Amino acid sequence: MRRFSWRRMLAVFIKEFQQMMRDRLTFAMAVGIPIIQLVLFGYAINTDPKGLPTAVISNDASVMARSLVAAVQNTGYFRITHSGTREDEGEALLAAGQVQFLLVIPGDFSQRVVRGERPALLLAVDATDPSASGNAIAALNVLAAQALRHDLTGPLRALQTAPPPFELRIHKRYNPEGLSRYNIVPGLIGTILTMTMVMFTSLGMTRERERGTMENLLATPVRPSEVMVGKILPYVVIGYLQLGVVLLAAFFLFEVPMVGSFALLMAMIGVFIIANLGVGFTFSTVARNQLQAVQMTFFFFLPSMLLSGFMFPFRAMPVWAQWIGEVLPLTHFLRIVRGILLKGSTAAQLLPELWPLLAFLFVAGVIALKRYRQTLD
């Protein structure tokens, strides 16, 4: 038996390295994915969101009310984006997901503080994602004893002692108990469909090219658009089967409520499935083999998970990361599915999240069809 030869091993090493360098896509993925992970986890991921959009409905124009609002802003957790005197407008903003908090100050706030009656303030919270509001609520509870300290002077100094001069009543809407499964389980619908739909489609087309059956398909009079639709529709059926499994587990195992319309949920999920299938079809026209198809799937899936608001609060990310997240279909789908299941959102309320999905679907379909025509040529 021959001894181990370093020269022969070196020859095999050089041959294998040269072969690896020829596969530019795989090499780019090997370098690109760690860079993306470093950037996202280092800069974009933040578990302590601040500057959360807040609506303030104040029926009291007194100095104390203004001091309270200023103190709320100074915590850094609250960014007042809407103000007014009509509580129903604030409730509508909260239901639409445009604000995270709704603070209501009663009209006799300052008068009751002076009389030592400890008036109650309402803080309504969008608790569909409990992790997004936990630290902000804790900061507000601490603030209660400090917000009016500069106003309670002279004869009112006695009111600075415990208990605080006003009471903060927190109403956690759509998830009163703050259960994390109400946020995670609906989000799993989107993440599972994203990974499987993109991967199934890209692998299916690439597999045919590797096996040589694509040539037989190209010899038929089938048009590119007909091939694309015919390839996508079976996976739509598979997507709905996966959806059925997840929904059954959500309702019977995790007791996630279904407040909105089931038919509307099915329609929205159909749009989301087709959008992801369009991405997978595009990947299949770029990938040379199934390994590359899988690599491209994870290259798309990783930012979708991290920047969509599934794993980390969306509003905690920097602005540039939110811009990227707004492009991803999973971001809008998570808002849609949580809105329907937990809030009972209607089609009109979900329209701001639906049109980005449709736009993404259109762009992905055009790119996939164009790439497929180039493959035919």
The partner residues of 58 in beta bridges, in order of sequence, read 105
Cα-Cα end-to-end distance for the chain: 53
Predicted confidence band at 327 (pLDDT cuts at 50, 70, 90)? very high
- What are the pLDDT digits (tens) for 150-198? 666 666 665 556 677 788 888 988 888 888 888 888 888 899 999 888 8
CB atoms within 10 A of CB 150: 11
Query: Residues 307-326: pLDDT tens digits?
Result: 888 888 888 888 888 899 99
Ordered strands of the 120-126 beta sheet? 78-84, 52-58, 101-105, 120-126, 167-173
Residue with tokens 């090499």: 27
pLDDT at 230: 78
pLDDT of residue 373: 57
Domain 52-173 = CATH 3.40.50.300: no
**Which of the four pLDDT bands, split at 50, 70 and 90, describes residue 358?**
very high
Rg (alpha carbons) of the chain, rounded to whole number: 27
Q: How far is CA 250 from CA 172, 278, 290, in A?
A: 21, 27, 33
Report the 10 Å Cβ neighbour count for 294: 18
Domain-by-domain residue ranges, the chain?
A: 52-173, 181-376
What is the average pLDDT score of the chain? 82
What is the pLDDT at residue 376? 47
Percent above pLDDT 90 for the chain: 14
**b/e map of 174-191 (b: 16 or more CB within 10 Å)?**
bbeeeeeebbbbbbbbbb
Tell me the CA distances in angstroms from 366 to 119, 187, 196, 279, 282, one per residue in order.
59, 28, 21, 10, 9
Q: Where are the beta strands (DSSP E) in 152-304?
A: 167-173
Could you tell me the CA-to-CA distances from 101 to 52, 80, 83, 88, 157 in Å, in that order?
8, 9, 12, 14, 30
* Average pLDDT for 66-81: 87
Residue pLDDT, tens place only, 231-290: 778 888 888 998 888 889 888 888 888 888 999 999 999 999 989 988 888 888 887 778
Note the pTM of the prediction, 2 decimals.
0.81
Q: What is the mean pLDDT of residues 88-105?
A: 89
